[in-house]
Structure 1
């Protein structure tokens, strides 16, 4: 992989969108397609807007769509670049970024633990946007780090990076909010994948 050629977005929000795309690449093991979509609001058609899309397959029953926005958004250019690259190069970049994400979260944990929620959320958002610049971590798994975040901040990170189906994030937030303390005094963290399957069953997905 020639890292110097990666068109990394400069805008923090666009970086997080690109990070979500790479996280899904890492999870599914394949590149997205870049597609155009339109929205209808009060009878008027708006667009075009761009999305990164993965179709369902034998491994993942459900597809996934991540909104990127208008054509001049940096995340659209980034995804267009991803689609043009070889699969192995894209997967290598995705693996590298996920290691960086662990490193970023590990660093941020100490910084946000005692901050008021609004400040902590801002620090986390800025930190996540810097994932592309981080040095890779070789230690703790990503899930272990997420479990150390205070409940509301964990909810923010899950919603920022998760890319769950519509309305699922609000359900997950309620689950996290209502969790009980375990016997060792630490907060129990719900298995988000298991909760997602239960949610799909209840909603006929």
Structure 2
């Protein structure tokens, strides 16, 4: 699905794939590989785990670090990050740049693959995919999922329009539009006219 001169198998499960793509996007943003770390959770006095995370420490360019949850050791995204960590920095950056150049087609492929899933699972996967497209933190995917919830009959067409014509660097602008229009006059979530906003952005930026 993401091919370049660097051969790293991309997870086949949609949720796991989005986790892997998030890691690559953060690699592209920060210009360096993550570390793969083990964490544990305490629930009602019981320790659960191990769970794996991809982590970037803060640096002079980025005042905040970033941690992306990968889950249990057997998850495909864990094996994916293990492979990334073993590669040279330039090889990992090449893979991340290749993803960013082809992010639209990658997400459209993902959209086609979740069409047979039950609605709730498809909505969850698509929300995470859109959060990835909008360069949003994981917490923001809940807001995007709420927007999708308002459109159960037009969910697929909304996603097709959303992924239809924007370049990768348009994501921050589109995320701002989603966040600024979360509520309409009647208190319900408002769906942005993505194509109109894209055209406005193009006119402003030449």
Fold-level similarity (TM above 0.5): yes
The equivalent of 1:164 in structure 2 is 137
**For residues 159 and 93 of structure 1, do their structure 2 counterparts lie closer, same or farther at Cα, with a shift above 3 Å needed?**
closer
**For residues 86 and 161 of structure 1, do their structure 2 counterparts lie closer, same or farther at Cα, with a shift above 3 Å needed?**
farther
TM-fit CA distance, 1:106: 6.8
Are the aligned partners of 2:58 and 2:64 in contact in 1 as well (CA < 8 Å)? Answer: yes
Please list every run of 5 or more consecutive structure 2 residues that lacks an aligned counterpart in the other structure: 147-178, 185-189, 199-206
SS state of the match for residue 62, structure 2? coil
The equivalent of 1:72 in structure 2 is 74
The TM-score with structure 1 as length reference comes to 0.59
TM-fit CA distance, 1:74: 0.9
TM-fit CA distance, 1:89: 0.5
Are the aligned partners of 2:27 and 2:34 in contact in 1 as well (CA < 8 Å)? Answer: yes
Q: String of CA shifts for 1:51-74, please: whole Å, max 9, x gaps.
A: 000000111000000000111111
**For residues 161 and 121 of structure 1, do their structure 2 counterparts lie closer, same or farther at Cα, with a shift above 3 Å needed?**
farther
**For residues 71 and 65 of structure 1, do their structure 2 counterparts lie closer, same or farther at Cα, with a shift above 3 Å needed?**
same
Please list every run of 5 or more consecutive structure 1 residues that lacks an aligned counterpart in the other structure: 127-152, 189-205
Matches within 5 A, 1:1-205: 2-3=5-6, 5-105=7-107, 122=122, 125=125, 157-158=130-131, 162=135, 164=137, 167=139, 175-178=180-183, 186=196
TM-fit CA distance, 1:119: 5.9
Give the alignment's Cα RMSD to 1 decimal. 3.8
Are the aligned partners of 1:26 and 1:91 in contact in 2 as well (CA < 8 Å)? Answer: yes
CA distance in 2, matches of 1:108, 1:9: 12
CA distance in 1, matches of 2:95, 2:71: 23
**For residues 12 and 187 of structure 1, do their structure 2 counterparts lie closer, same or farther at Cα, with a shift above 3 Å needed?**
same
Are the aligned partners of 1:181 and 1:187 in contact in 2 as well (CA < 8 Å)? Answer: no
Are the aligned partners of 1:53 and 1:66 in contact in 2 as well (CA < 8 Å)? Answer: yes
The TM-score with structure 2 as length reference comes to 0.58
CA distance in 1, matches of 2:25, 2:85: 15
CA distance in 1, matches of 2:66, 2:10: 22
